[in-house]
Amino acid sequence: MREKIETLLTEIERLTANSLEEVEAIRIKYLSKKGIIATLMDEFRHVPADRKREVGMKMNALKQAATERLQQLKEQFAQNGTAQAGNDLSRTAYPVALGTRHPLSIVREEICDIFKRLGFTIAEGPEVEDDWHVFSSLNFADDHPARDMQDTFFIQHDPQIVLRTHTSSVQTRIMEKSAPPIRIICPGRVYRNEAISYRAHCFFHQVEALYIDRDVSFADLKQALLFFAREMFGTETKIRLRPSYFPFTEPSAEMDISCNICGGEGCPFCKHTGWVEILGCGMVDPNVLENCGIDSKQYTGYALGMGIERITNLKYQVKDLRMFSENDLRFLEQFRAAH
């Protein structure tokens, strides 16, 4: 009998009702003259005399618990005929539309996650930068065309303060204040004084990666690039490196991946070449290491940088760059399923 009472107690605690009719049904089931508790009271007669006191107290507790629970259930409907047990009364009365993650955020995180799996950690730097971090420390000669007014936004006519034109500036910031080994990934917004069109914008996003240690070689870079390409675009993806030039890397290269839209067959997206360019990379120029106080005789490193918009275009075939910053919900909501 004790067990029966215990089971009933938990059962009663968990009771819920969606309407006053249901509350009444509960009352009849448990507390009416022929209800469960009354029937149990009848059985009480057969309890041996020495246990009557203990069982009797439990019976009373049960009856009280049932009465109280019934009262609680009833009270829910006192003010509002439709309130339900467990309702969150702090919720708004109208449905709130859930936002979606921005496609660039989805892709940025995917890129960072892949590099995190290789041991890279996130580093960030300011968007308003000085000439040293954006250009000089990175081995840009004074008359390098990238410093040209055409590309760079200057702050308040001060040629020393600029909006960063690439996230490579974060490399220098981190190298200046930390000792190797350095293994960082730097996502961020960058600015260039470009006419806005479907394929260029005055701001966009990049991710930069930097690895400095003893004996870092071009082979390490290539392996990291292959890993990244396959994680991002699928295991069938091929990569190729073409020689290139950046002031801050020597040697420098640009990486193409086999076009993930046509699988390398040739299509309008890859201009029928089967390859699409996705990033720049190279071995950090010893001058850059020395500029940041790192001994280039002891340490070497690789760096790479890519545009998040470009990777996103490849993944989702967005044809017009401007869509990323127009906040058109019809565009953004298409990415609901992506994350």
Q: Phi first, then psi: what are they for 250, rounded to 5°?
A: -155, 115
Among 162, 282, 289, 311, binds ligand DAH (CB under 6 A): 282
Q: Phi first, then psi: what are they for 224, rounded to 5°?
A: -65, -40
Q: Give the pair of three-digit tokens for residue 105.
A: 């955020």
CB of 179 to ligand DAH, least distance (A): 20
- Residue 76 or 168 with smaller CB distance to ligand DAH: 168
Select from 30-38, 81-89, 216-224, 274-282 the region that touches ligand DAH (CB under 6 A).
Answer: 274-282
Query: In a 3-state reduction of DSSP, which class is residue 15?
Result: coil
Task: Count residues near ligand DAH (CB under 6 A).
Answer: 11
Pairing, β 121-122 against β 182-191 = parallel
Using alpha carbons, list the distances in angstroms from residue 216 to 49, 152, 221. Answer: 87, 32, 8
- Residue 303 or 308 with smaller CB distance to ligand DAH: 303
Q: If binding is defined by CB under 6 A, does position 163 make contact with ligand DAH? A: no
d(CA 107, CA 103): 6
- Under rule CB under 6 A, which residues in 243-262 are in contact with ligand DAH? 246, 249
Q: If binding is defined by CB under 6 A, does position 224 make contact with ligand DAH? A: no
The owner of tokens 């640009």 is 254
d(CA 139, CA 135): 7
- Residue 264 or 280 with smaller CB distance to ligand DAH: 280
The owner of tokens 């360019």 is 277
Q: If binding is defined by CB under 6 A, does position 166 make contact with ligand DAH? A: yes
Q: If binding is defined by CB under 6 A, does position 291 make contact with ligand DAH? A: no
> Which residue from 212, 130, 199, 200 is spatially nearest to 171, judged by alpha carbons?
212
- Residue 12 or 185 with smaller CB distance to ligand DAH: 185
- Under rule CB under 6 A, which residues in 183-222 are in contact with ligand DAH? 208
- Residue 168 or 237 with smaller CB distance to ligand DAH: 168
- Residue 76 or 313 with smaller CB distance to ligand DAH: 313
> Which residue from 129, 195, 200 is spatially nearest to 162, judged by alpha carbons?
129
- Residue closest to ligand DAH when measured from CB atoms: 305
Q: If binding is defined by CB under 6 A, does position 281 make contact with ligand DAH? A: yes
**Cβ–Cβ < 8 Å for 206, 188:** yes
d(CA 178, CA 248): 19
CA 201 to chain centre: 24
- 55 to 94: interface string for ligand DAH, x by CB under 6 A: ----------------------------------------
Binding-site ranges for ligand DAH (CB under 6 A):
166, 168, 208, 246, 249, 280-282, 303-305
